[in-house]
Structure 1
Amino acid sequence: MSNEREPIDWSSLIRKEDWLVVWMAFIILILATAGLITGIPSVGSWSSNITDSLSVGDLPGMVVLGLGILVLTSLGVFLKKDDLPSYWKGYPVIFVMAVVSFVISKQSTIKYYGLSYVLWALLMGLIISNIIGLPDWLKGAIKTELYIKIGLVLLGAEILFPTIVQGGLVSVAQSLCAVIVTWYFAYWLARKVGLSQSFASIMASAVSICGVSAAIAAGGAIKGDKKEISFTISMVLLTSIVMLVAQPLIARSLNLPSAVAGAWIGGTIDTTGAVGAAGALYDDTAMTAAAIVKLAQNVLIGIAAFALAVYWSLRVDRVEGEKPSLMDIWFRFPKFIVGFVAASLVFSFILSPSLGAAAVSSTLGLTKSLRGWFFCLSFVGIGLETKFSELMKVGGTKAAGVYIAAQLVNIVLVYFLAWIFFGGIFFPVPL
C-alpha cells in the first residue's frame, strides 16, 4: 500500500461550505466591530394590532437587511458554484417567511410563553412541504446548512470566557457533570434500541448540551444524515415547549430558591429562547442563573464536535489496515467549529481587553441580531426540506422514546446538580 497522500487542495478555502461560512461570519464580525454596521432592523412587540410590530415605515430597513444577507450569501453560493440565479429567484420568499416568523413570535401572549421564531419558521416550512407542496423554483434558495453555520460562528463570538468566569465556575462544573452523564446515557439507550451510531451521537449531543446548535455541530462533525438531524431538532423544539411551561410551575410548587430554579431550567431546556422565557416566568434571578448555565453549556459545543470528529476518524470511518493521520482528522473536522472557537477567543482575549466591555457588548448586540436572522432562515429551510413521512421512517416512536427518556434522566440529574452547585450548601451562590 502506498503511503503517498494527495496534495492539499487549497482551493477548498474558498470552495468548501465549511470554510466559506467562517469567512462570511468574520466579514460580519469585522464590519460590526469597525462600526460599519450601525443597526439591525428589528420586529417590535404587538398585542392585537400587527402594525405595531412592523409598519410601512419599517419596510425599507427590512429590505436593506434582506438585500445585505442576500449579497453576502450570494458570494458563498457563487464560490461553491451553486446555481446563483435559482438562489436569487427563491430567496425573497425564504426571507419573507423569516420576517413573518419573527412577527408571530413577537405577539405578546406568544412572546410571554417563549414560543420563539424558530418554532414558527419550522412550522411554516413544514406546512408548505407537507400540505401545499414545495415548488421546484424555491428549492434552489434553501441553503439550510449555509445559514445555520454562519449563525453558529456568530454564536461563538458571544461565548466570552471572562463572563463565564464572572458567573462562577460552578456553572461550568454543573454543565460538565450533566453533559457527560446524560450524553452517555442517551447514546447507550439509542444504541440499545437499534439506532445508528450517527443518530445516537446527534441525539445524545442535542439532549445533553444545547439542543439545536449541538445537533447541527455534531451532525457536521460526523457527516450525519440530514433526516436524523431534522428529527432531533423537531424533538428539541417539541420538548422545549412543554418544559418551558411545566418547569417554572414545578419549581414554584417545590418552592425552589431562585438560583436553583434557574440553574435547573438552564441545564435542561434545550433552546436558548425558551431558557430565558422559562427563567423569566419564575423571576429575574432565576432568569440570570438560567442564562449563566446555558452559556456554560454552549462552550461545550466545540469540545463535543471535536471529540466526535476525532472518534469518527479513528474508529467509525477507519479503513482496516490503515492508521488515520492528523490530516485525516483535520479534513473531517467541521471547519465552522474552528470559526466558532476562533470568534470566541478573539472577542474574549483580544477585543474585550482592547476595546472594553461596553464596545464589545454593543458589537455583539448587532451580531446577535444577525445571528437570529440566519438561524430563522435556516429553520425555514429545515421545514421546507422535511417530510413527516420521512421523519417517521428515520426515527418514529422508538427514537422519540429515546429522546424523551434521556430528557427525563437529564431533568432529574440536573435538579440535584442545581442544588449542589447553586443551592449555597457546598459553594457560594454565584449571583
Structure 2
Amino acid sequence: MSNTTTAKARTPLHEDWAVVALGFLIIFISFFYLVPAPAYGWKDGASLRDTVLTGANLAAILVQFVFVFAVGLLGAWLTGKSLNAFVKVFPVIAVLTILALVIAGNSGIKGLGLEAVIFSLSIGLLVSNTLDLPEWFRSALTAEMFVKIGLVLLGTSVIFTDILKAGSLGLIQALLVVVSVWYFAFWVCRKFKLDDELTMMLSSAVSICGVSAAIATAGAIKGDNKKLSYIISLVLITAIPMMIFMPYIARYFDFPEAVTGAWLGGSIDTTGAVVASGTLVGETALKISTIVKFSQNVLLGLAAFAISVYWTYTNKGKTQDAVKQPTLTVIWERFPKFVLGFLAASLLFTLLSPTVTEAGTVRAGWLPDDQLKSLSASLKSVQLLWFVLAFTSIGLETKFSDLFNAESRKPLYAFLIAQLFNIIVTLIIAFLLFSNT
C-alpha cells in the first residue's frame, strides 16, 4: 500500500518535457548567476600549467561540473531514474569528459579541426571495450537526456534574425541539399535493406547537419543508442578527411571561393570541421560555408517534426498505440518536445538581442549588449559541456562487438554512397547558386 502511495506521489515526467524544463532552468539561473566558462586552450606543458591548471581555472571547472551535476541529478529525479546510480556514475563521466576537453584544447589538435566530442566518444569507447562495466553502470548512463538539454541550449545561439542575414541563397541551397540528399540516402538504405531506425538516422545525419540531426532523429523515433553511436562515429570519422582534402580539391580545380564555401558548408557534417576547412580556403569561403551550415541547422526543427509525423504514420506494430489509426494526439505524443524548447530558446534570445532596422539603425534588445555577450558565452560553454558529457556516455554504453561485425558493413556502405552523392549534388547546387556572387 505504501509503495502505491509513493508511486502516485511521484509520477515520472516525460524526458522530453524534463529537458525543456531543465534547459530553461539553466537559462533562468544564468540571468542571475553566470556559470564560469573554463579555459581549456593550451600549446605546451608551460601553457597548460599557466592556463588550464591554474587555481582559478580549476575552480571554474569544478563550479561548472557541480552545476551540471545538480541539474542532471534533478533530471534523474524528474524522470524517475535511480539517484543513487546517477551519483555513482556521473563522477566517472565527468573525469573522462574533462580529459577529452583538455586534449581537444591543445593548439595542434585545434589546428586539425578535431572537436572535443570525438575525444570524449573515443575515450568512452576505449573504457567500454577494455573494461567489463557492470550492467547497472551502463543502465545509469543518461546520454539522451544530456544531449537534449544541450539541444535546448543550442537554441540560444540560433537567432531568428540571423536567418535573414544568411541570405536567400544559403537557405535555398540548404533546402535543396537536405531534400535531395535525404531521399537519396533513404533510397540507398532501402536497397541495402537496413532497418527503419538506422535508415532514418543515417539519412538525417548525411543530409541535414550530421551529429545533431542524428541525435534529433533518434529522439523523435526513440531510436537505439547503439545505432546512434554507430552513425555518430561514421559522421565524425568521415568529416576528418573531407575537411582536409576538399579545400585542396577546390584549389586544384580553381573553384570560385564562394562556391567552395557553399560546397564545404553544405556537405561536411560537423560545424567545427566546416569552420576549419573554410579557414583553409579564405575569408569569403569561411563566411559562406558558415552561412550555409547555419541554414542547414535551422532546418533541424522542421526536419524533426516531419520525421515524427512520418514515423507515427508508418512505424506500425512496435507499440500499443502504433497499431491504432494515427491521430493528431498520437503525433503530439511522439513529437520531440525538446524541439519546442529549442525554438522557444531561439525566440527568447532573438528578443534579447539588438536588431538592425530597415533604416540601418540598431534597435537595442531587451538586454545590454555586454550583458548579452557574457550570458551567451556562459550558456555556450555549458551547452558544449552537455554535448561532450553525452558523447562520453554514448561511448561508455557502446561495445565494438555490437557494432563492428558482419551486420555493420551494409550501414557503412550505405553511408559512404550517400555521402559521395551529397558531395557531388552539393557542388552542383553551389555552382548554380554561388558562381556569380
Shifted more, 253-262 versus 374-383: the winner is 253-262
Matched, 1:348 2:360: no
How far apart, CA to CA, are the structure 2 residues paired with 1:221 and 1:310? 9
- 2:276 alignment partner in structure 1: 277
Report the alpha carbon displacement of residue 287 of structure 1 after superposing the two structures with TM.
Answer: 1.7
Q: Which residue identity does 1:392 align to in structure 2?
A: F
- 2:360 alignment partner in structure 1: none
Q: Which of 20, 33, 37 is the aligned partner of 1:36?
A: 33
How far apart, CA to CA, are the structure 1 residues paired with 2:51 and 2:277? 23
How far apart, CA to CA, are the structure 1 residues paired with 2:172 and 2:369? 25
How far apart, CA to CA, are the structure 1 residues paired with 2:180 and 2:420? 13
Q: 1:205-284 to 2 correspondence within 5 Å?
A: 205-284=204-283
Q: Among the aligned pairs, what percent are the same residue?
A: 41
Q: Which of 404, 421, 425 is the aligned partner of 1:413?
A: 425
- 2:21 alignment partner in structure 1: 23
Q: Which runs of 5 or more residues in structure 1 are unaligned?
A: 1-8
How far apart, CA to CA, are the structure 1 residues paired with 2:183 and 2:403? 24
How far apart, CA to CA, are the structure 2 residues paired with 1:135 and 1:51? 36
1:46 and 1:53 in contact (8 A); partners too:
no
- 2:338 alignment partner in structure 1: 336
SS of match in other structure, 2:263: helix
Report the alpha carbon displacement of residue 138 of structure 1 after superposing the two structures with TM.
Answer: 4.3
1:259 and 1:285 in contact (8 A); partners too:
yes
Shifted more, 182-191 versus 17-26: the winner is 17-26
- 1:287 alignment partner in structure 2: 286
Deviations 1:73-131 (A, max 9, x none): 11111122211122112212211211111111121221101111011001100110112
How far apart, CA to CA, are the structure 2 residues paired with 1:158 and 1:169? 20
- 1:388 alignment partner in structure 2: 400
1:155 and 1:340 in contact (8 A); partners too:
yes
- 2:113 alignment partner in structure 1: 114
How far apart, CA to CA, are the structure 2 residues paired with 1:51 and 1:278? 30
How far apart, CA to CA, are the structure 1 residues paired with 2:426 and 2:370? 33
How far apart, CA to CA, are the structure 1 residues paired with 2:41 and 2:306? 41
CA RMSD, Structure 1 to Structure 2 (Å): 2.3
Q: Which of 375, 388, 393 is the aligned partner of 1:363?
A: 375
Shifted more, 75-84 versus 353-362: the winner is 353-362
How far apart, CA to CA, are the structure 2 residues paired with 1:51 and 1:228? 39
Deviations 1:168-205 (A, max 9, x none): 12111100000000000000100111101221111000
- 1:55 alignment partner in structure 2: 53
Shifted more, 190-199 versus 317-326: the winner is 317-326
What TM-score does the superposition give when structure 2 sets the normalisation length?
A: 0.89
Report the alpha carbon displacement of residue 403 of structure 1 after superposing the two structures with TM.
Answer: 0.4
Deviations 1:361-389 (A, max 9, x none): 44222211111100000000111111111
2:41 and 2:107 in contact (8 A); partners too:
no
Q: Which of 373, 379, 382 is the aligned partner of 2:391?
A: 379
Matched, 1:150 2:149: yes
Deviations 1:359-418 (A, max 9, x none): 544422221111110000000011111111111359511110110110111011111212
How far apart, CA to CA, are the structure 2 residues paired with 1:89 and 1:322? 41
Report the alpha carbon displacement of residue 354 of structure 1 after superposing the two structures with TM.
Answer: 2.9
How far apart, CA to CA, are the structure 2 residues paired with 1:356 and 1:254? 47
How far apart, CA to CA, are the structure 1 residues paired with 2:322 and 2:9? 28
How far apart, CA to CA, are the structure 1 residues paired with 2:292 and 2:89? 39
Deviations 1:219-241 (A, max 9, x none): 11112222221111110011011
Shifted more, 355-364 versus 341-350: the winner is 355-364
- 1:4 alignment partner in structure 2: none
How far apart, CA to CA, are the structure 1 residues paired with 2:83 and 2:75? 10
How far apart, CA to CA, are the structure 1 residues paired with 2:118 and 2:322? 44
How far apart, CA to CA, are the structure 2 residues paired with 1:321 and 1:62? 49
2:35 and 2:64 in contact (8 A); partners too:
no
Q: Which runs of 5 or more residues in structure 2 are unaligned?
A: 1-7, 355-364
Shifted more, 213-222 versus 283-292: the winner is 283-292
How far apart, CA to CA, are the structure 2 residues paired with 1:164 and 1:341? 13
1:47 and 1:109 in contact (8 A); partners too:
no
Aligned residues: 415
Q: Which residue identity does 2:20 align to in structure 1?
A: V
How far apart, CA to CA, are the structure 1 residues paired with 2:302 and 2:71? 29
2:152 and 2:342 in contact (8 A); partners too:
yes
